């Protein structure tokens, strides 16, 4: 009897396969998994494509953020764009057929995001895209292609900012599939900030004496357009050297950038401290205490806006314009003189003030789950999923 009841119950659950592939996906999926696990009506399954596989780019994030161990790891590893995307497509298809989810939920804009979405829709499975509608209008960015294609396929388009709604409407996506829900990455930031403040990274990097932090900057660089050419990378690090002459600059180096640096043999200022990639809590601690952040990442533009920390984005465009119109971000480009001048202003206390965008309040995952429960996929893949009313 109990067994029968349980079976009936499990058949009524909305089975959702959640996808992670690369590092930036992890702070986005963490609050969604937490929220789904609070709802007995949902059966959340986690699949890791293995696009990122290192301890420092993947495992440490699972541990620190309490993300459950994935039910499946596709172990696709690194490769060219075509090879990596194709490998995810091939390897995820049998998992989708075997697990028969009602919905596949993807986040962000990495190769795993588009690959899994494509495999799912071809099997008639609904797709939800979290962080939909962001556009840099720069098709030389691999992520821009992934964003456009994923949004063309997804049935649920969860957006972080108003501009994204307009982009999706212009691309012909139906208004009723678009939901402004806030920012799941900021859910993680708010949830983990108190814990991150206890990190010992300040002492380890000699940025802190007793309770007092000294002024410092944080740098991240990994976009192919900035790091794949030795000349470009040397030019950018030349500008950073001038900033490092004023304050220590902490630079956790992404493996892609590390490979280029090793090949190029570029020498840097002693106050530019190159360190291996660090975990989420240490990084969040550094971001929250920094005087200035310089980055070409998408997510860090949002995190600095949420923290009210000045950010210089070393790119010619951004898919996250709200961090500029409302937040602390400035799109500064890659001209060394502009970077040095803008950093100088911030260090002189003339940073751009900002405010936190609407709905970046730590509750985006709750809103997403609420939408999914109130509007379950129409063409339910598993006919028995929801009770007939």
- Indicate whether 145 belongs to the interface with ligand UD1 (CB under 6 A): no
Helix (H/G/I), strand (E/B), else coil: 249: strand
Pairing of strands 103-107, 292-295: unpaired
- Indicate whether 53 belongs to the interface with ligand UD1 (CB under 6 A): yes
Contacts with ligand UD1 by CB under 6 A: the residue count is 17
* Residue span 151-190 as binding mask against ligand UD1, x where in contact by CB under 6 A, dash where not: ----------------------------------------
Q: d(Cα 360, Cα 372) in Å, to the nearest integer?
A: 19
222 is catalytic: yes
Choice between 131 and 143, CB closer to ligand UD1: 143
Token pair recorded at residue 347? 């260090």
Using the rule CB under 6 A, which residue among 163, 208, 235, 255 binds ligand UD1?
Answer: 255
Helix, strand and coil in the chain, % to nearest 5: 45, 15, 40
Using the rule CB under 6 A, which residue among 256, 269, 338, 352 binds ligand UD1?
Answer: 256
Q: d(Cα 330, Cα 324) in Å, to the nearest integer?
A: 6
Q: What is the 8-class DSSP label of residue 23?
A: G
Residues in 212-231 at the binding interface with ligand UD1, rule: CB under 6 A: 222
What is the number of alpha carbons within 13 Å of residue 342 lying toward its C-beta? 24
Catalytic residue, chosen from 48, 52, 191, 222, is: 222
Pairing of strands 178-180, 14-20: unpaired
- Stretch near ligand UD1 under the rule CB under 6 A, chosen from 46-54, 96-104, 208-216, 368-376: 46-54
- Indicate whether 110 belongs to the interface with ligand UD1 (CB under 6 A): yes
- Indicate whether 78 belongs to the interface with ligand UD1 (CB under 6 A): yes
Pairing of strands 212-213, 208-209: antiparallel
| Phi, psi values for residue 164, rounded to 5° | -60, -35
- Stretch near ligand UD1 under the rule CB under 6 A, chosen from 22-30, 164-172, 184-192, 377-385: 22-30
Decide if 221 contacts 312 (C-beta within 8 A): no
Choice between 14 and 294, CB closer to ligand UD1: 294
Q: How far is the CB of 302 from ligand UD1 (least distance, A)?
A: 13
Q: Which residue's structure tokens are 């979405």? A: 117
Q: Is 154 exposed, middle or buried (0-12, 13-18, 19+ CB in 10 A)?
A: buried
- Indicate whether 367 belongs to the interface with ligand UD1 (CB under 6 A): no
Choice between 78 and 325, CB closer to ligand UD1: 78
Q: d(Cα 72, Cα 82) in Å, to the nearest integer?
A: 22
- Stretch near ligand UD1 under the rule CB under 6 A, chosen from 31-39, 53-61, 176-184, 371-379: 53-61
Q: How far is the CB of 320 from ligand UD1 (least distance, A)?
A: 13
Contact residues toward ligand UD1 (CB under 6 A) are 22-24, 51-54, 57, 78, 110-111, 142-143, 222, 254-256
Residues classed as catalytic: 222
């Amino acid at each position: 009897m109990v067994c029968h009841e349980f079976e009936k119950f499990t058949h009524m659950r909305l089975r959702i396969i959640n996808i992670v592939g690369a590092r930036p996906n992890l702070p986005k999926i963490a609050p969604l998994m937490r929220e789904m696990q609070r709802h007995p009506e949902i059966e959340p399954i986690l699949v890791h494509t293995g696009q990122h596989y290192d301890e420092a780019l993947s495992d440490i994030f699972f541990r620190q953020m309490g993300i459950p161990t994935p039910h499946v790891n596709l172990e696709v590893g690194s490769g060219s764009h075509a090879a990596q995307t194709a490998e995810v497509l091939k390897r995820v298809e049998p998992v989708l057929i075997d697990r028969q989810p009602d919905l596949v939920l993807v986040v962000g804009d990495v190769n795993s995001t588009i690959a899994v979405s494509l495999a799912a829709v071809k099997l008639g499975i609904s797709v939800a895209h979290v962080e939909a509608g962001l556009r840099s209008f720069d098709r030389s960015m691999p992520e821009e292609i992934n964003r456009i294609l994923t949004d063309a396929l997804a049935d649920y388009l969860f957006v972080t900012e108003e501009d994204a709604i307009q982009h999706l409407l212009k691309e012909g996506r139906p208004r009723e599939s678009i939901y402004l829900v806030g920012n799941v990455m900021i859910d993680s930031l708010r949830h983990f900030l108190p814990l991150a403040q206890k990190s010992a990274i300040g002492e380890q990097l000699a940025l802190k004496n007793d309770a007092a932090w000294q002024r410092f900057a944080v740098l991240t660089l990994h976009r192919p357009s900035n790091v794949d050419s030795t000349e470009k990378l040397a030019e950018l690090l030349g500008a950073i050297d001038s900033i490092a002459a004023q304050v220590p600059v902490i630079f956790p180096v992404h493996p892609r950038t590390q490979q280029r640096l090793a090949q190029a043999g570029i020498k840097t200022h002693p106050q530019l401290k190159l360190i291996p990639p660090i975990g989420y809590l240490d990084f969040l601690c550094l971001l929250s205490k920094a005087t200035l952040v310089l980055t070409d990442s998408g997510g860090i533009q949002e995190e600095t806006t949420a923290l009210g920390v000045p950010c210089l984005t070393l790119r010619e465009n951004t898919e996250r314009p709200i961090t500029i119109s409302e937040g602390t971000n400035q799109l500064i480009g890659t001209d060394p003189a502009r970077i040095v001048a803008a950093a100088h202003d911030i260090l002189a206390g003339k940073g751009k003030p900002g405010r936190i965008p609407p709905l970046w309040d730590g509750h985006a995952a709750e809103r997403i789950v609420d939408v999914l429960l109130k509007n379950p996929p129409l063409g339910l893949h598993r006919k028995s999923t929801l009770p007939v009313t």
